[in-house]
Structure 1
Amino acid sequence: MASPDHQETKDPTDTARTDRPLTIATSCPVHSHNSEDKKQNGLRKGLVRHRDYVKISVPEGKGNRLPSEWWKTFIALFYAILNLVLTTVTITVVHERVPPKESSPPLPDKFFDYIDRVQWAFIVTEVNGMVLVSIWSIQLLFHRYKAIVGRRYFFLLGTLYMYRCITMYITTLPVPGMHMVCAPKLYGDSQAMLQRVLQLISGGGLSITGSHLLCGDFLYSGHTVMLTLTYLFIKEYSPRSFWCYHLLCWLMAAVSVVCILVAHEHYSVDVVVAYFITTRLFYWYHTMANLQTLKCSPNNYLTHTWWNPVFNFFERNVQTQVPCSFCWPITCPLACLKNPCKNYSMVQSGREE
């Protein structure tokens, strides 16, 4: 009896085991086919959506990586004007402390020992300086990202003249030559000092306009600052292929700086210090601006500068390097001219396009 019972219990089980694979065999291919189709369709949709997303979002991202933010540019312009006015006030104050050239003769200068003074040399400096600034103004006007470039120029210019106010005030040097004619001292007449400040501002602080007859603004040279900074911006924000243009601007700046010394209007140390401070500040700022990874790097010691918070304020939303791209400054049917730089000439060899 054991064997029949075993057979009776075994037969339904065997039948069920043989039937179940049949149903699975007939249903699994259909089920797996449907699921694979759905997965493939979903994958295709995902790919299509991803492809559409890339096509739409990338151009917008590039456009937002260089926002104009003109209000920041006007703040930088105000900062530059404020320090230029402060410079004229400092010159007026320091003029009262300059010792008379009869009692305090000019300090020894090695350049003056070998080169005699040329009277018209300083006129060449100021004329070349005005031409160079005019060239830079036109170039900036046609630059596509003039708001970003402009606030960089204004911030560096204002900072350099603020440094100049400090160096002029803390150390007053005697006149560099007996040929210099200094205006009479006012001995505390505040109203007359205010008139001198306004006279300096109206004449642009230039000797050829007859507005600058004050002494004491020697360390360091403001003319060298303006010439050097303007040339660096001209070269940095123009195509590398314009080498003739760069050479011409460099010659104008170099000749003008040499003419400052030939005219004996500044000591040699005034020109050297002005060149060093201007170039270092320009390189530091653009290194931090062009290398995005340095902005938050703990090993970036440039962030220890006092102006780093101001830098972060101006450059926070600038997420890429500024290309050398030009267009018409007003709305025009002509297409904008675009010529991206190949690399960053001064600090970084591999520049993003």
Structure 2
Amino acid sequence: MVVNVNREAPKLWRKISTELFVEISLLAENWKYLLAGIFFQYLHGLAAHGIHYLHRPGPTLQDAGFFFLPELGKQRAYMSESLFSTIFCSFALWTFHPFIFQSKKIYTVLVWCRVLAFLVACQSLRIITFYSTHLPGPNYHCREGSKLARLPPPQSVLEVLLINFPRGVIYGCGDLIFSSHMIFTLVFVRTYQIYGSKRCIKQFGWVLAVIQSLLIIASRKHYTVDVVVAWYTVNLVVFFLDKRLPEMPDRSSGSTSILPLTNKDKDSKNKEELQKLTDINSVGPTD
């Protein structure tokens, strides 16, 4: 048994080194896309902070979700954040599972390139919508009488660019339609639905997304319309954008190519295979 372990250990390390080399190669080729997607997360936060300066508190709007769902209150507002953190961390760990488990079906770098593309598209639409119409925030710190409901004019450019971190991120107001938490949640669940392998986890992910939606409304962090718009917008954006992006290769297929094929590449590859078959068939049997 000891001999077998000693024999398998070098093979395992070589395999891990090979997988790591593949991911580093993909990172070297796609770092610009990853960096652009990460930088846009800052721009999205900057836009959300900017709308806070324009926010004007007012009476909470009539909302069907507020009528049917009991209010959790300030003491239980952490419930939605805890569930969101669980979904976020679980998805992040899953994207890095090829470095730990033997069943490798995805490329970590390519998955995050795709996820960031989905997030950028959805967040761009979100910025347009909440700057188009300003609504009074239903959250407790955004209501009339709260010191955080209005932001005084900035004293310097740095105050705006630094987003008053982390207070400005946690206690934002005005960035309502549509929910940013639901963008991340649905993008993660939808991505696992496409590239994940466990059916039970896919179903459980959608259940968590529904629970997350209800908790956001019950916590009075968003109106029901913010959650509803997020559900159909994010799913439509991911559906159409996934069709336009290059095809994701399956890591478990044993393909020697680590890069996704574009439609043009796939057409040329099909033509080459067809030409080979034609050449073979054109060679008749020798007499």
- Quick one: structure 1 residues 182 and 286, their matched pair in 2 at CA, closer, same or farther if it must change by over 3 Å? farther
AA matched with 1:111: G
Deviation track 1:40-88 (CA, whole Å, cap 9, x = no partner) reads xxxxxxxxxxxxxxxxxxxxxxxxxxx9642453222222222221122
AA matched with 1:231: V
Aligned partner (choices 244, 247, 253) of residue 288 of structure 1: 244
- Quick one: structure 1 residues 321 and 73, their matched pair in 2 at CA, closer, same or farther if it must change by over 3 Å? closer
AA matched with 1:135: S
AA matched with 1:229: V
Which deviates more, 171-180 or 133-142?
171-180
Aligned counterpart, 2:35: 78
Aligned partner (choices 41, 61, 69) of residue 107 of structure 1: 61
- Quick one: structure 1 residues 253 and 79, their matched pair in 2 at CA, closer, same or farther if it must change by over 3 Å? same
Deviation track 1:79-99 (CA, whole Å, cap 9, x = no partner) reads 222222112222222112111
Q: Distance in 2 between matches of 1:248 and 1:141?
A: 20
Deviation track 1:240-286 (CA, whole Å, cap 9, x = no partner) reads xx222223322222211110011111011111111111101111122
Structure 1 residues without counterparts, runs of 5 or longer: 1-66, 206-210, 290-314, 327-335, 337-353
Aligned length: 220
Q: What is the correspondence of 1:265-284 to structure 2 with a 5 Å cutoff?
A: 265-284=221-240
- Quick one: structure 1 residues 194 and 229, their matched pair in 2 at CA, closer, same or farther if it must change by over 3 Å? same
1:230 and 2:188 are equivalent in the alignment? yes
Question: How far did residue 195 of structure 1 move?
Answer: 7.2
1:151 and 2:107 are equivalent in the alignment? no
User: 2:141, 2:171 within 8 Å by CA — same for their partners in 1?
Assistant: no
Secondary structure at the residue paired with 2:47? helix
AA matched with 1:219: I
Secondary structure at the residue paired with 1:126? helix
Aligned counterpart, 1:132: 87
User: 2:55, 2:136 within 8 Å by CA — same for their partners in 1?
Assistant: yes
Q: What is the correspondence of 1:1-353 to structure 2 with a 5 Å cutoff?
A: 69-101=26-58, 105-119=59-73, 120-143=75-98, 144-176=106-138, 180=142, 181=146, 183=148, 184-191=150-157, 193-194=159-160, 197-200=163-166, 211-239=169-197, 242-289=198-245, 315=246, 321-323=248-250, 325=252
Which deviates more, 150-159 or 70-79?
70-79
AA matched with 1:322: P
Which deviates more, 165-174 or 183-192?
183-192
Bigger Rg, structure 1 or 2: 1
Q: Distance in 1 between matches of 2:126 and 2:179?
A: 8
User: 1:81, 1:158 within 8 Å by CA — same for their partners in 2?
Assistant: no
- Quick one: structure 1 residues 125 and 324, their matched pair in 2 at CA, closer, same or farther if it must change by over 3 Å? farther
State, as a whole percentage, how many aligned pairs show the same letter: 21
AA matched with 1:89: L
Q: Distance in 1 between matches of 2:133 and 2:82?
A: 29
AA matched with 1:215: C
- Quick one: structure 1 residues 167 and 71, their matched pair in 2 at CA, closer, same or farther if it must change by over 3 Å? farther
Q: TM-score, normalised by structure 1?
A: 0.56
- Quick one: structure 1 residues 285 and 214, their matched pair in 2 at CA, closer, same or farther if it must change by over 3 Å? closer
Structure 2 residues without counterparts, runs of 5 or longer: 1-23, 99-105, 255-287
User: 1:186, 1:192 within 8 Å by CA — same for their partners in 2?
Assistant: no
Aligned counterpart, 2:13: none
User: 2:46, 2:161 within 8 Å by CA — same for their partners in 1?
Assistant: no
Structure of higher RCO (CA pairs closer than 8 Å, 6+ residues apart): 2
Aligned counterpart, 1:20: none
Question: How far did residue 193 of structure 1 move?
Answer: 3.1
Q: Distance in 2 between matches of 1:187 and 1:233?
A: 40
Which deviates more, 150-159 or 181-190?
181-190
Alignment root-mean-square deviation, CA: 2.9
